[in-house]
Amino acid sequence: MPERCIPVERCGTHAPLWLVGSHPRRRDGIVTRKVCGNWKKKCCAFRSPPIKVKKCRGNYYVYKFSRPSACYLAYCAINTLRCGRCRRNQSCVSRDKINWRCKRNKRSSRKIHFFASFPGRLHGKVNRVKYTKVFVNVGRGYNRRTGVFKAPVKGLYQFFFSSQSHYTNLKTDLWLVVNGYWVAVSSTRISRISSVGSLTYYMTFLRRGSVVYVTQNSGRSWANSLSTTITFGG
């Protein structure tokens, strides 16, 4: 039986009867439930005698009906077949617990964003730069102890990384490494006494668990606790 008010002129009668309250659990045994009939926009315009309900092993219910108080009252039944089998990305839903359908589940959009900097100097080859000064880490994909970003979910990601150099005639290369592949470089080479920064963006599709980090292949990069010239984010 439905547990909510049923519109009039349904279930083959004028004022359909519905169950007031929820169905019992198996451990509840036999319970008594009130029954109401809908009429003239009043869900309980008619109060029919109570009935007894029991949940049995095998996920079905047994009802002991009482005779309705009038001939224009009749008990309603819900569609026990429901949806049959829905797809993995669907759920069986119903507004009135009578008509059921498979509905596609809403995909929750998860926000992921991080930004970190290295508050020091990098000399020569550094296999993995550990950006220890973390400003933002929404989604907790970045690990400051390892310097690695691990994709929490699959999707399209955009990364950026930067460096600052002021050493004459010295080439400085920082590479973005995705799952072991060097995919983008931030490079500087100064011919005269100066200070030059370099910023590189890279966009790619990642599966969940993909690993991304930055390595310095050669040169020197500088920063301090106040500056944010050696950065990594996305």
pLDDT tens, position by position, 119-136: 988 888 999 999 999 999
Q: Cα 233 vs. chain centroid, distance in angstroms? A: 22
Mean per-residue pLDDT, 78-95: 77
Give the span between the Cα atoms of 80 and 15, in whole angstroms: 22
Q: For the segment 193-219, what is each residue's pLDDT rounded down to a tens digit?
A: 667 788 999 999 999 999 999 999 988
pLDDT of residue 180: 96
Domain borders along the chain are 1-76, 82-107, 113-233
Q: For the segment 55-74, what is each residue's pLDDT rounded down to a tens digit?
A: 998 778 999 999 888 888 89
Least confident span in 33-37, 167-171, 217-221:
167-171
Query: Is the separation of the CB atoms in 69 and 76 below 8 Å?
Result: no
- Tell me the pLDDT band of 142, cut-offs 50, 70 and 90: very high
Integer CA distances (angstroms), 10 to 20, 76, 77, 79, in order: 17, 8, 10, 14
pTM, rounded to two decimals? 0.56
Q: Which residues is 37 bridged to in the sheet?
A: 17, 46
Is the domain spanning 113-233 CATH 2.60.120.40? The answer is yes
pLDDT of residue 193: 67
Mean per-residue pLDDT, 7-33: 90
Query: Is the separation of the CB atoms in 148 and 212 below 8 Å?
Result: yes
Which residues, in sequence order, are CB contacts of 41 under 8 Å at separation 6+?
none
Query: Is the separation of the CB atoms in 184 and 217 below 8 Å?
Result: no
Which residues, in sequence order, are CB contacts of 226 under 8 Å at separation 6+?
none
pLDDT of residue 208: 95
Mean per-residue pLDDT, 158-184: 89
- Tell me the pLDDT band of 143, cut-offs 50, 70 and 90: very high
Q: What is the dihedral of CA 69, 72, 73, 76, to 10 degrees?
A: 160
